[in-house]
Amino acid sequence: MKITFHTAMITGSSRGIGRSIAVKLAQEGVRRIAVHYCTRKEEAEKTVAEVRNAGAEGVLVQGDTSDANRAAGVVAEAAEKLGGCDIFVQSVAPTFDQIYEHTLATEVPLAKWQIAFDTQARAFFLGVPEAAKHMTRGGRVIALSYTPGGATGGWQPWVGMGPAKAALESMCRYFAVALARHGVTVNAVSPGVSDETTLIGQTPQPVQDALKDWATTGWTPMRRNVAPSDVANVCALLCSEEASFVTGQAIAVDGGSSLMNPDFPLALQVPK
């Protein structure tokens, strides 16, 4: 795997999957990386330290990308500090309490639905064109998604994030066509459940335990939840020269959980 790009900006990289992506890109030879955060400066500084330990230069960029006036600005600021922006990864997520309401979809407050769209779909819509201005010799754009949230309706409180992620994946296809002539690929990466993400990691411990049990019993064929490094590895692959002809795709990194059929009991799908 060979990454020839020199600069990268990862939103929401103060911890979790975003941090893993930043460090992995540094390990694979990206020379300058912008670490973005909204409020967790100390955590972002830890990411910068890990990036530097991996052999790259790390810079900090602060801003609330749910603010329409700031979403493009953080990308522009990162590009100025880095001297370009060859790779743009949107990994930012709201806090759990910002988007979650333990109720039916019809009763979720508009404000919580709106913050989901503002942090995901709108931030991407504004951030990508700004990043693309600097991708004069090709580039990579990646959005962190969650495909099941947009395809199902069972997790009722997810009525904001699910459609927002669906919109995110749809925009990847539109931007992929628009930017292909410039040698820029645009893809979505859809992780399965990870207890080390911003959102799942903020749920009550019994919820996290139940999710682990669900995976290990076989509903995830590989019998574990997703690790941030699993997602970072795929993002690095998409940034490589070997993936230069892959664009407009949504790639699941879920250990096979999306292959399971909820209409059939697990014992009928995977006999012991």
| CA R_g for the chain | 18
Strand 139-144 and strand 184-191: the pairing is parallel
Whether the Cβ atoms of residue 157 and residue 97 lie closer than 8 Å to each other: no
Q: What is the C-alpha to C-alpha distance for residues 6 and 271, in angstroms, rounded to an integer? A: 48
Mean confidence (pLDDT) of the chain: 94
Return the percentage of the chain with pLDDT > 70, whole number: 99
Is the pLDDT at 208 greater than 90? The verdict is no
Least confident range of 54-58, 150-154, 186-190: 150-154
Q: What is the pTM of this model?
A: 0.95
- The pLDDT tens digits of the residues spanning 170-201 come to 999 999 999 999 999 999 999 998 876 667 77
pLDDT on residue 29: 96
pLDDT on residue 124: 98
User: 145, exposed or middle or buried, with CB in 10 Å at 0-12, 13-18, 19+?
Assistant: buried
Query: Cα-Cα-Cα-Cα dihedral of 195, 201, 207, 209, to 10°?
Result: 40
Q: Which domains does the chain have, with CATH numbers?
A: 7-255 (3.40.50.720)
- The pLDDT tens digits of the residues spanning 260-269 come to 998 998 988 9
Q: What is the amino acid identity at position 32?
A: R
Q: Name the strand (E) or helix (H) holding 32.
A: strand 32-37
pLDDT on residue 71: 96
| Cβ burial 235-249 (10 Å sphere, 16+ → b, else e) | bbbbbbeebeeebbb
- The pLDDT tens digits of the residues spanning 101-150 come to 999 999 999 999 999 999 999 999 999 999 999 999 999 999 999 999 99
Provide CB contacts within 8 A for 211, sequence distance 6+. Answer: 193, 195, 200, 225
pLDDT on residue 203: 75
Residue that wins the pLDDT comparison between 88 and 193: 88
Q: What is the DSSP string of 79-104?
A: HHHHT--SEEEE-----HHHH--SS-
- The pLDDT tens digits of the residues spanning 12-44 come to 999 999 999 999 999 999 999 999 999 999 999
Kindly give the interhelix angle for 16-27 and 228-239, rounded to the nearest 10 degrees.
50
